[in-house]
Structure 1
């Protein structure tokens, strides 16, 4: 697991670089992601607003976005990277700056970082006349069809069910008894909330298992490593299992366990290449794949094609405006085959087939 130690070191370096880059504002970010000449073209500037490309999940998302650009005759380097480092304030500021630079001639793919930030993002895009497609985070009462064509679509993943499945795998591996700890994402993130809810739902069926503590680690490997070290100090050998809300945090957890000479059942989420290898080796019990490559490509494609007039979002049914992306549970028995299909060989996608792999319209609690 040498890559985990390297991953933690990269996160430390990335945080330092992010703080330095933030001082330069959008100009510095745009220069890193695309030449400024792109802003002067008639085609919309295509941008991805996201957290961190050093994270394998987001690297896959943005790689999908780059693949889409190539499908319309552009270059990978034409994609503008709006890196927010987990800051909702920077996410919004960078999007506003991009809209100002392009006079609204922009097609933006975006994870708003947390649910409250989605509203000011989409309001800013609509006001400027740009187009945005979002993933993961938005309030339940905020919908693309309330913004005409400018908020093209929102995609999320139904995380509660898959997280319940991974939690059950963990609890069964613990023999239906003992005590575990949980490491979660950013508290206001929709996926962080749903993944914890799924875990708690599974726990109801295991009365002999105790949840010792559940702490956020903001989706970050280094912070998860610190959180797990704290758990080990507080609870010691009482811990007999670990639930992680994503793969990157699981890497930090595994490194903390290794430092203490302990091997415990651990489950994760995202289906990254590194996590899949850990499942094959038996270091992780399970992960859950959300096909971030397809998600990243189709989100950029939807925003772009709406901007150039290929289709009119407001003419589409609601299941094309808000929809679930695909999920695949990955366990040791099927991890090798999964890796062959989705990681070693990346499937080829038709980026105009916007809703092919999707799983239907988003449903909200208490509503049919």
Structure 2
């Protein structure tokens, strides 16, 4: 079975910060962690199980809120957690740029903030403990290079982006553009935000197929849900599996699409592992233990037909076993610096 190269050597380059003796938490043995997410996407819904498992294994309580892709709702989530005097806040932002005042307010109230999934805005970085999440530039580069290789380094492609302004979209788009800049014979026909959503991507792909037809040689999708929406549009034209698509996330439907040949490649952003890691980092900080600085950066493994069975079995064949072993895995990964190991 193909082995995935992980984040070897990162530990040596990683510095750490501690919660410090100055924090007067109410009960670090039973920490209360407030977790606010941008929406209950497929990735987040799966990741919630990991976050809950880590909290339970540490004797903690997890308070959970979804912002439903609404910035104001997430701002309210923050204020709620500050009012409740939680021990720490973990946030997967709707839009990182909008949360600087709330993050600063939490810090002023003595509540540490850990950002996950989308990186913090520059103005917020001095006020957060650390970032736990993917190297989205690298993920964009990996999916773009895989697509470019598949079409023989020449042809016409289209790109489905996440919501404009989210760091995931910004960084994955940057990675894609890095690869396209090195491949002048690959032409970009269109690039449009599908907002991580299947139905939105389905409509966009219908329009592109009508507009460009047989000119489309390949599709890059910045997440699996948009890829699945695109595949549905391709199926209606008898083109599924004939036009290569690459993506990011590794959700169940994305992995199944790799198995049936309608998706060429995806990059595994393991929701339970990532969100569980973020909760463990928050709890470690509450307890005055060391946490990675400036980030626990996760390099996503690429999934193809060559290795899909291993990851599918872990996450969907026997997911209860994976979740049961997650607390030990997360602690081991934090100790080794190989944050994506599974």
The two structures have a TM-score, normalised by structure 1, of 0.75
Partner of 2:38: 51
Partner of 1:63: 49
Q: How does 1:296-307 map to 2 (within 5 A)?
A: 296-307=275-286
Structure 2 Cα separation of the partners of residues 357 and 228 of structure 1: 42
Partner of 1:229: 206
* Deviation, structure 1 residue 216: 0.7
1:85 and 2:68 are equivalent in the alignment: yes
1:159 and 2:136 are equivalent in the alignment: yes
CA contact (8 A) 2:30 2:59 kept: no
CA contact (8 A) 2:31 2:59 kept: no
* Deviation, structure 1 residue 68: 0.9
Q: 2:77 aligns with which of 87, 94, 102?
A: 94
Task: Return structure 1 stretches of 4+ with deviation > 6 angstroms.
Answer: none
Q: How does 1:259-274 map to 2 (within 5 A)?
A: 259-263=236-240, 264-274=243-253
* Deviation, structure 1 residue 165: 2.2
Partner of 1:366: none
Q: Secondary structure, in 3 states, of the residue corresponding to 1:349?
A: helix
Instruction: List alignment gaps of at least 5 residues for structure 1.
Output: 1-41, 361-368
CA contact (8 A) 1:326 1:357 kept: no
* Deviation, structure 1 residue 352: 4.5
Q: 1:339 aligns with which of 290, 300, 312?
A: 312
* Deviation, structure 1 residue 212: 0.5
Distance 1:117 1:340, change over 3 A: same
Partner of 2:106: 125
Q: 1:105 aligns with which of 86, 100, 104?
A: 86
Q: How does 1:198-277 map to 2 (within 5 A)?
A: 198-263=175-240, 264-277=243-256
Q: 1:139 aligns with which of 103, 121, 125?
A: 121
Q: 1:348 aligns with which of 315, 326, 335?
A: 326
* Deviation, structure 1 residue 79: 2.9
**1:264-323 superposed Cα distances (whole Å, 9 cap, x missing partner):** 11111011122112112211010001222121112122223433xx2156xx6xx43423
Q: Secondary structure, in 3 states, of the residue corresponding to 1:348?
A: helix
Structure 2 Cα separation of the partners of residues 337 and 43 of structure 1: 35
Q: 1:168 aligns with which of 113, 132, 145?
A: 145
* Deviation, structure 1 residue 324: 0.5
CA contact (8 A) 1:323 1:359 kept: no
Structure 2 Cα separation of the partners of residues 354 and 193 of structure 1: 27
Structure 2 Cα separation of the partners of residues 324 and 142 of structure 1: 18
Q: How does 1:291-330 map to 2 (within 5 A)?
A: 291-307=270-286, 310-311=287-288, 319-330=292-303
**1:229-286 superposed Cα distances (whole Å, 9 cap, x missing partner):** 2212222222121100011111111111112322211111011122112112211010
Structure 2 Cα separation of the partners of residues 302 and 210 of structure 1: 42
Structure 2 Cα separation of the partners of residues 130 and 283 of structure 1: 46
Partner of 1:278: 257
Distance 1:246 1:94, change over 3 A: same
Structure 1 Cα separation of the partners of residues 31 and 98 of structure 2: 23
CA contact (8 A) 1:44 1:106 kept: yes
Q: Secondary structure, in 3 states, of the residue corresponding to 1:355?
A: helix
Structure 2 Cα separation of the partners of residues 82 and 124 of structure 1: 18
Deviates further, 336-345 or 322-331 = 336-345
CA contact (8 A) 2:37 2:94 kept: yes
Distance 1:244 1:358, change over 3 A: farther
* Deviation, structure 1 residue 354: 6.9
* Deviation, structure 1 residue 329: 0.7
Deviates further, 169-178 or 190-199 = 169-178
